[in-house]
């Protein structure tokens, strides 16, 4: 709900601080009176609801209830448990409280449980009571009221995900001086076989202008790395509030979000009902007669969203919290490909692959202005000497795939839609024999609508034309490879900017590794490349810039850009060299340190 003081003394506000009543706009009052007034409003609303249900029972269906037996398969729970405030926390002891909350998770078969206003002792107890779940926690402050549950008075957010393993992410939000800290907490790992970022937060109305929605979303966008996202929490905003607009819109990386309760017609506004809308900025109240608790899901990854607010049964011991527990459900949706060259995650932005010296393949999602997001591992072990690239759909499903030379063999790793890799497939037509060549997926070089591959060797640059996939199996066409570049290519790095002259054929660029010159070659299909044009900008010799890759246009200005490692005081950074009409512009650092451990980029 609104700002709650976890000290257990909700009637004591900091000097000069007042609260705006959510039930009576324009009225200011102390916190304790505000809480009592909201509870009185909730009771009144409940009586009116019962009366209206009695009067209209002949014509109105029963309230929409999402049952465990019929709900869509991907399940989550969001619950503000009010762990520290004596005005609203449960009267139960820790074992009894834990049994009820854990029981709710099991009965709902929840894949994720997202908890706010949680004390560390409660989190520890739930962790032990939920085998098969991975628990993560973040502390925002110490609250004396948390001493009810354990000697640790930590207070904050907790998250449990039914997954074999997760990566934890957390960040504090920027709040006005003197206000209670707020945070966002996420866990990234497989959920029903699909890697997902699951997050929780507790926003506040004193974080202007949007309760902290945009701040939380910026962190989530970076951590998601193009993956599906589930976000649950107490947003201190009703469905109709503009504070939720950033979440509904999402970012290019996450896409827009759907709110799990947006299609519950029992709570549609009159305007939505009159318009025959299928979704509405409404929903079942969760606290004090209002809906401040929400579960948002990335709309391109989930469908058939449902939600239901319930009061856990305590056997007459009183409510567990002043909030209801929000149960949400959805079905998985296959993400449509964006059609943007270099985009593995389906968000419309080119992405970066990096092979680290530990043999692990990482995906760095491309962000705005050439930045990259938090990496995620998409290949475990065995990639140390691999040459990886991604340009073109080799399996016929519309998604850009990863092509990799591993040892002497050439493999295609199908993209499952968000950058995760499926079971590798041998490249038909020439699955082996690549030890002395550097093969790179190049897009459609010859203009026939199918992906092609360029291979650099001591004899020059060779075009291997792709064939249409049969039953999802990649293959080269039954035609001999064509040499389109002479022996000088043995000293060049092959760069793949995409179709820059818009003639339907992917063009080629090169870096002279000795001099650092950049050369541009328009494609001539299966004919030899013409005399190149030297690009303007700084020289990029390998002594200064060990690794260089062209992802295409990552800055959105129509010119191809470059990502490059650069030596910096004994370490290496990652820089973006933005493209211009004639070459490259001024380099900017987008990744500080650690890139000296990267063997190759793709």
Express each pLDDT in 216-235 by its tens digit.
Answer: 999 999 999 889 999 999 99
Assigned domain for 206 exists = yes
Same domain, 357 and 283: no
Same domain, 374 and 248: no
Assigned domain for 587 exists = yes
Q: What are phi and psi of 367, to 5 degrees?
A: -115, -175
Read off the pLDDT of each residue in 465-471 and give the average, rounded to a whole number. Answer: 95
Express each pLDDT in 297-306 by its tens digit.
Answer: 999 999 999 9
Same domain, 311 and 377: no
Assigned domain for 57 exists = no
CA distance 126 to 186: 17
Express each pLDDT in 116-145 by its tens digit.
Answer: 999 999 999 999 999 999 999 999 999 999
Question: In the sheet where 387-389 sits, what is the strand order?
Answer: 387-389, 402-406, 409-413, 425-426
Closest CA to 296 of 204, 155, 197, 167: 197
Same domain, 376 and 328: no
Cβ contact 549:575 at 8 Å: no
> Which single residue is written with the structure tokens 């001591």?
458
Give me the pLDDT at residue 39, please.
Answer: 37
Same domain, 289 and 431: no
Assigned domain for 165 exists = yes
For residue 498, what is the DSSP state? E
Helix (H, G, I), strand (E, B) or coil at 32: helix
Give me the pLDDT at residue 67, please.
Answer: 87
Assigned domain for 287 exists = yes
Assigned domain for 45 exists = no
Q: What distances in angstroms separate CA 393 from CA 357, 483, 513, one per listed residue?
A: 28, 23, 30
Does residue 36 surpass a pLDDT of 90?
no
Mean pLDDT (the chain, rounded):
88
In 400-415, which positions are buried (b, 16+ CB within 10 angstroms) versus exposed (e)?
bbbbbbbeebbbbbbb
Same domain, 444 and 588: yes
Closest CA to 204 of 117, 135, 83, 136: 117
Q: What is the dihedral of CA 377, 295, 92, 23, to 10 degrees?
A: 150
Structural domain total, the chain: 2
Q: Which of 332, 367, 387 is the last residue of a domain?
A: 332
CA distance 114 to 258: 17
Q: What are phi and psi of 257, to 5 degrees?
A: -110, 145
Closest CA to 37 of 15, 52, 58, 22: 22
Long-range contacts of 165-174 (CB under 8 A, 24+ apart): 165/134, 165/189, 165/190, 166/134, 166/136, 167/376, 168/136, 169/219, 169/223, 169/374, 170/136, 170/138, 171/219, 172/140, 173/201, 173/203, 173/207, 173/212, 173/215, 173/216, 174/207, 174/215
In 448-466, which positions are buried (b, 16+ CB within 10 angstroms) versus exposed (e)?
bebbbbbbbbeebbbbbbb
Same domain, 280 and 360: no
Assigned domain for 342 exists = no
Same domain, 566 and 452: yes
Residue 565 sits in a domain whose CATH number is 2.120.10
Angle at 187 between CA 171 and CA 155, to 5 degrees: 55
Q: Token digits for 503?
A: 């003639």
Same domain, 390 and 265: no
* Least confident segment among 39-53, 267-281, 400-414: 39-53
CA distance 355 to 600: 5
Q: What is the pTM of this model?
A: 0.81
Q: Which of 300, 332, 364 is the last residue of a domain?
A: 332
Q: Which of 286, 301, 332 is the last residue of a domain?
A: 332
Closest CA to 382 of 416, 421, 344: 421
Does residue 23 surpass a pLDDT of 70?
no
DSSP 201-253: EE--TTSTTTTTHHHHHHHHHHHHTT--EEEEEE-SS-TT-GGGHHHHH-BTT
**600 or 46, higher pLDDT:** 600
Does residue 16 surpass a pLDDT of 80?
no
For residue 148, what is the DSSP state? G
* Least confident segment among 7-21, 314-328, 438-452, 494-508: 7-21
Express each pLDDT in 61-92 by its tens digit.
Answer: 334 578 888 899 999 999 999 999 999 999 99
Assigned domain for 67 exists = no
Same domain, 316 and 401: no
Q: Which domain holds residue 574?
A: 352-601
Q: What crossing angle do the helices spanning 120-129 and 94-108 adopt, rounded to 10°?
A: 50
Read off the pLDDT of each residue in 504-520 and give the average, rounded to a whole number. Answer: 96
Residue 177 sits in a domain whose CATH number is 3.60.10.10
CB atoms within 10 A of CB 337: 17
Give me the pLDDT at residue 58, please.
Answer: 25
Same domain, 195 and 132: yes
Give me the pLDDT at residue 303, please.
Answer: 94
**What is the chain's Cα-based Rg?**
28
Express each pLDDT in 240-268 by its tens digit.
Answer: 999 999 999 999 889 999 999 999 999 99
Express each pLDDT in 316-335 by its tens digit.
Answer: 999 999 999 999 999 999 88
Cβ contact 189:163 at 8 Å: yes
CA distance 568 to 589: 11
Q: What are phi and psi of 18, to 5 degrees?
A: -130, 165
Same domain, 549 and 431: yes
**58 or 249, higher pLDDT:** 249
């Amino acid at each position: 709900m609104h700002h709650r003081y976890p000290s257990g003394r909700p009637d004591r506000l900091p000097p000069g601080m007042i609260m705006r009543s959510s039930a009576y706009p324009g009225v200011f009052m102390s916190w304790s009176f505000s809480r009592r007034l909201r509870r009185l409003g909730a009771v009144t609303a409940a009586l009116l609801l019962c009366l209206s249900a009695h009067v209209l029972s002949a014509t109105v269906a029963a309230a929409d209830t999402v049952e465990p037996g019929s709900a869509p398969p991907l399940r989550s729970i969001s619950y503000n448990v009010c762990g520290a405030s004596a005005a609203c926390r449960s009267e139960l002891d820790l074992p009894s409280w834990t049994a009820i909350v854990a029981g709710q998770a099991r009965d709902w078969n929840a894949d994720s449980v997202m908890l706010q206003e949680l004390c560390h002792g409660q989190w520890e107890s739930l962790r032990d009571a939920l085998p098969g779940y991975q628990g993560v926690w973040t502390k925002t402050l110490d609250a004396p009221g948390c001493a009810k549950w354990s000697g640790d008075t930590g207070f904050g957010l907790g998250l449990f995900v039914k997954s074999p393993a997760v990566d934890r992410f957390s960040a504090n939000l920027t709040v006005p001086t003197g206000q209670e800290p707020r945070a966002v907490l996420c866990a990234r790992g497989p959920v029903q076989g699909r890697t997902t970022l699951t997050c929780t937060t507790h926003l506040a109305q004193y974080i202007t202008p949007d309760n902290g929605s945009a701040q939380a979303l910026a962190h989530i966008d970076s951590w998601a790395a193009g993956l599906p996202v589930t976000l649950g929490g107490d947003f201190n905003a009703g469905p109709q509030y503009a504070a939720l607009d950033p979440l509904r819109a999402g970012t290019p990386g996450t896409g827009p979000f759907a709110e799990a309760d947006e299609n519950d017609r029992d709570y549609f506004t009159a305007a939505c009902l009159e318009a025959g809308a299928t979704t509405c900025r409404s929903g079942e109240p969760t606290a004090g007669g209002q809906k401040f608790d929400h579960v948002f899901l990335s709309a391109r990854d989930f469908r058939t969203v449902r939600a239901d607010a319930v009061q856990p049964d305590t056997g007459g011991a009183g409510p567990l919290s002043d909030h209801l527990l929000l149960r949400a459900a959805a079905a998985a949706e296959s993400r449509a490909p964006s059609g943007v060259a270099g985009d593995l995650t389906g968000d419309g932005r080119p992405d970066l692959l990096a092979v680290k010296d530990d043999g692990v393949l990482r995906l760095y999602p491309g962000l705005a202005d050439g930045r990259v997001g938090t990496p995620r591992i998409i290949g475990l072990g065995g990639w140390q000497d691999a040459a990886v690239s991604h340009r073109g759909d080799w399996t016929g499903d519309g998604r850009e795939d990863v092509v990799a030379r591993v040892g002497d063999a050439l493999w295609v790793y199908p993209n499952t839609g968000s950058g995760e890799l499926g079971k590798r497939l041998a490249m038909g037509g020439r699955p082996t024999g690549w030890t002395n060549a550097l093969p790179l997926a190049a897009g459609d070089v010859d203009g026939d609508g199918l992906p092609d591959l360029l291979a650099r060797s001591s004899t020059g640059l060779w075009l291997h034309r792709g064939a249409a996939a049969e039953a999802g199996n990649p293959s080269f066409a039954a035609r001999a490879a064509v040499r389109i570049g002479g022996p000088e290519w043995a000293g060049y790095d092959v760069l793949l900017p995409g179709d820059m002259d818009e003639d339907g054929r992917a063009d080629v660029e090169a870096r002279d590794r000795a001099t650092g010159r950049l050369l541009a070659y328009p494609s001539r299909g299966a004919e030899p490349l013409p005399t190149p044009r030297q690009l303007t900008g700084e020289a990029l010799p390998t002594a200064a810039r060990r690794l260089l890759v062209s992802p295409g246009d990552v800055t959105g200005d129509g010119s191809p850009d470059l990502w490059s490692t650069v030596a910096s005081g004994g370490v290496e950074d990652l820089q973006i060299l933005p493209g211009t009409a004639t070459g490259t512009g001024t380099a900017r650092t987008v990744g500080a340190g650690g890139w000296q451990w990267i063997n190759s980029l793709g």
